[in-house]
Structure 1
Amino acid sequence: MTVSEWITDTAGRIRNDPIRGTADSVYELYLGGLRRANTLYTGGESVYNRDWDVLILLDACRVDLLEEVAADYPFLGEADTLTSAGSSSIEWMEQTFDEEYAEEMQTTAYVTGNPFSKRVLGNGDVLALDEVWRYGWDDEAGTIPARNVTDRAIAAGREYDYERLIVHYMQPHFPSVPDPLTDGMNTETLGDGEGWDSPWHRLRRGEIDRDRLWESYRSNLRYVLEDVDVLLRNLDAERVVISADHGNAAGEWGVYGHPKVPLTPIREVPWYETTATDTGERDPEIEPDTERGDIEGKLGALGYL
């Protein structure tokens, strides 16, 4: 955002709501400075620099959130961390699916519920690209259900001859499927430039408290981990890693959510190693659809525009 754009946006915000508008503009100005620092940040490690056969990404999962529930899921063993290559999903994709790793990409199958794949990848960039968000979006839930991603990952595991498989779930990224804090997201009404008023924005404005947000966030993590358990019983892999593309800030340094800023709660992600054995107990129920949904609407609904 340029200075002139910020001034124009500020004027509009203040006209609509002087108090909230001023606060939002000050916050955006502050984030602008942090985003400039992000362009100079040289930390972060590509997942391709580590050993794994299957990489399961839990979108926007904080390290401490996963630590809270790890004991309830036997497949989550010894905990480690990774400094992510990105502070947001698109930055993670841009840094991961980079020309430097072109050879590795040609042997990687990528099953994703995250719509930013549209902006980074084409069908020839990886061995196989399954963009589940294109046909597996649930308008009522306002997101991509975990089971749709699970089923397509099971199918990929059985159909493709890959060296590496990346499975990118949208949870625990809000909205929380089992415990919504908003009315949800509708691709027909969102994506109009204003984006989605996420629970992180509401927390910053004091409209909900941190404990209530965390409860919903944790429920959404448990929701997706139940599907990870299903996946691990229907996939053959010796080295499976459960990680995240990025985390979230919950007020650290006055930041909320995951803007492109180099803060530890956003950049540091979990790294759990496990194994998977295909018992054949589940047959995938969803098949790719040739219909193309409202891509920009979905991105806007997720708060990415």
Structure 2
Amino acid sequence: MTFRDWATETNERVREDGWRGVKESAYEFYVGLWRNVGKRINYGTPIWDEEWDICLVLDACRWDLIPEVDRPYLTNDWKYSVASSSGEWIPKTFDGRDTSDVAYVTANPYSKNLLDASSFALLDEVWEYGFDRDLRTIPADVVTDQALTAWADDPDRMVVHYMQPHHPFVPNPMDQGLPRQEFDSQPWDNVWHKLRKGEVERDEVWDGYVANLEYVLNHVETLLHNADADVLITSDHGNVLGEWGMYAHPDWVPLRSLKRVPWITTRAEDRGDYEPVDHSTREDERIDRDHQLEALGYK
């Protein structure tokens, strides 16, 4: 957004919302200052710096979320991500790299405009057919099934991009101040906006965040028990919950609390006790990408 665009939106907000519009534009201006810094000071470790067969990306997983859950394969190891948002992470990770031997199975809708399917051994955009209207996100079990289906075709390497623990929080959304709504009703007011406005408590959001990590790990474990591979578990970025006056995960913001992500190496061993379902042939109504981005809090 240019300064002129920001000024135009500010005038409109002030006319419509008065002081609330002033505060919203002030917040955007503040984040914009951080972005200008981030575009000059860039740091982080690419996933390619680690040896792995399968890289599992848990979208928006803060490093300090990991100690909140109990899994034998999880460690407290971490590194800094190359990005502070998915839309920044995807091109930084894949652009200019030979990915002809890589299968990328992704629930993140940013792949649509940022990637060329012909550059990959496989690009399975699970969000195109796997979005759940009630959950307002892409369920983790669908991603696991698609990843195991892709792995059976024996790619050299595979990146699996889950949408969780990124909000919406799947378990008990009513308990986390996130009431279910009809998909096509009023615009979704995501949890980070609610937290910034003081409409939900930080502890309440944190509990939902942890529960969402527990949820996705249940399905990650299905993958870990049904493939033979060296595995890296990491994230594209974290979230800020008020640190430095910011919320969510704005792109190009170089805060360490936002870019510090899990970096866990483990081993997957195939027990042969699960048969994945191929969801890509589903004939359910597909959800418009812009609606998905809104539901996921990107718009």
- TM-score of the superposed pair, with normalisation by structure 1: 0.91
The answer for the alignment partner of 2:166 in structure 1 is 173
AA aligned to 1:107 is D
Q: Report the alpha carbon displacement of residue 47 of structure 1 after superposing the two structures with TM.
A: 0.7
1:89 aligns with 2:82: no
Q: Is the 8 Å Cα contact of residues 187 and 294 (structure 1) preserved in structure 2?
A: no
2:110 pairs with 1:113 = no
TM-superposed CA distance for 1:169, in Å, is 0.4
Does structure 1 retain, via aligned residues, the 8 Å contact 2:80–2:261? Answer: yes
Q: Please report how far the alpha carbon of residue 14 of structure 1 lies from its aligned counterpart in structure 2 after TM superposition.
A: 2.5
Pairs within 5 Å for 1:178-189:
178-180=171-173, 181-184=177-180, 188-189=184-185
> Could you tell me whether the CA contact under 8 Å between 2:234 and 2:263 is conserved in 1?
yes
Query: What corresponds to 2:5 in structure 1?
Result: 5
Paired with 1:184 and 1:35, the residues of 2 have a C-alpha distance of 33
AA in 2 matched with 1:294: D
Q: Is the 8 A contact 2:42 2:254 kept in 1?
A: no
Query: Would the aligned equivalents of 1:196 and 1:301 in 2 still touch at CA under 8 Å?
Result: yes
Q: Given that residues 186 and 301 in structure 1 are in contact (C-alpha distance below 8 angstroms), is that contact kept between their aligned partners in structure 2? A: no
Question: Structure 2: which amino acid aligns with 1:24?
Answer: E
Aligned pair partner of 1:232 in 215, 221, 224: 224
**Is 1:74 matched up with 2:37?**
no
Answering whether residue 16 of structure 2 is matched by residue 16 of structure 1, we say yes
CA RMSD of aligned residues (A): 1.7
**Could you tell me whether the CA contact under 8 Å between 2:149 and 2:278 is conserved in 1?**
no
Alpha-carbon spacing, 1:153–1:73, altered in 2? closer, same or farther (3 Å): same
Q: How far apart, in 2, do the equivalents of 1:242 and 1:36 lie?
A: 30
Please, which moves more after superposition, 58-67 or 19-28?
Answer: 19-28
Q: What SS class does the counterpart of residue 40 from structure 1 fall into?
A: coil
The aligned counterpart of 1:202 is 194
Deviation of 1:207 (Å): 1.1
- CA drift of 1:184 comes to 4.3
Q: Secondary structure at the match of 2:119?
A: coil
In structure 1, the partner of 2:238 is 247
Seen in structure 2, the aligned counterparts of structure 1 residues 227 and 204 have a Cα distance that, compared at 3 Å, is same
* CA shift in 2, pair 1:290/1:119, >3 Å: farther
Shift of 1:199: 0.9
Structure 2 Cα separation of the partners of residues 218 and 290 of structure 1:
30
Q: Which residue of 1 is the match for residue 36 of structure 2?
A: 36
Q: Percent identity?
A: 46
1:295 is aligned, of 289, 292, 298, to 289
Q: Deviations over 1:44-95 (max 9, x none)?
A: 12111211111111100001111221xx21121x331121111100111000
CA offset at residue 273 of structure 1?
A: 1.1
- Secondary structure at 1:220's aligned position in 2? helix
Show CA shifts across 1:22-54 (max 9, x none): 211110110111111111122112111211111
Give distance in 1, aligned partners of 2:124 and 2:40. 33
